[in-house]
Amino acid sequence: MVVGHAAGGVDHLEGHLTAKCRGQAHHHGFGNDQALGHVEAAVNFGRAIAVVDQQVRAVLLPVELARELKAEAGSPGLKILRHYRDDDGQLMAVSETVHPDDRFTLVPQIHRDKAI
């Protein structure tokens, strides 16, 4: 398993570049020692991501994380946990990111089947 940690993306807040989130990723079964992006890892190792299970949870930002993200400690945030699976349902990667509330918007789109 490969583990990578990163501050994701940047925002321009009050004239300063600020990380949008902090995240970590765990890659399963790739047999290398490089932390790769999920799509890059899948392509490099001939596996396609078929399913992403996503959990979104409200959290309060702890002091250390808030400082790193230039946000207020104890302010609301979103924790996003994703499990990436291949066509066989095998776990390929797990990622967890925490975003201050003003730096992430979740916009799901739901399609209904036509009524019979």
The answer to whether residue 92 is domain-embedded is: yes
- Is 115 contained in some domain? no
∠ CA 89-93-96, rounded to 5°: 125
Q: List the Cα angle 95/98/104 in 5-degree steps.
A: 105
Assigned domain for 116 exists: no
pLDDT, tens digit, 9 for 90 and up, residues 90-110: 888 888 889 999 988 888 898
Q: How many domains does the chain have?
A: 1
* Residue whose C-alpha is closest to residue 42's, from 95, 92, 97, 96: 92
pTM over 0.85: no
pLDDT, tens digit (0-9, with 9 covering 90-100), for 51-94: 999 999 999 999 999 999 999 999 999 999 999 888 999 888 88
The domain spanning residue 35 has which CATH number? 3.40.1410.10
Helix (H, G, I), strand (E, B) or coil at 41: helix
Tell me whether residue 51 is in a domain.
yes
Classify residue 7: in a domain, yes or no: yes
Residue 64 belongs to domain spanning: 2-103
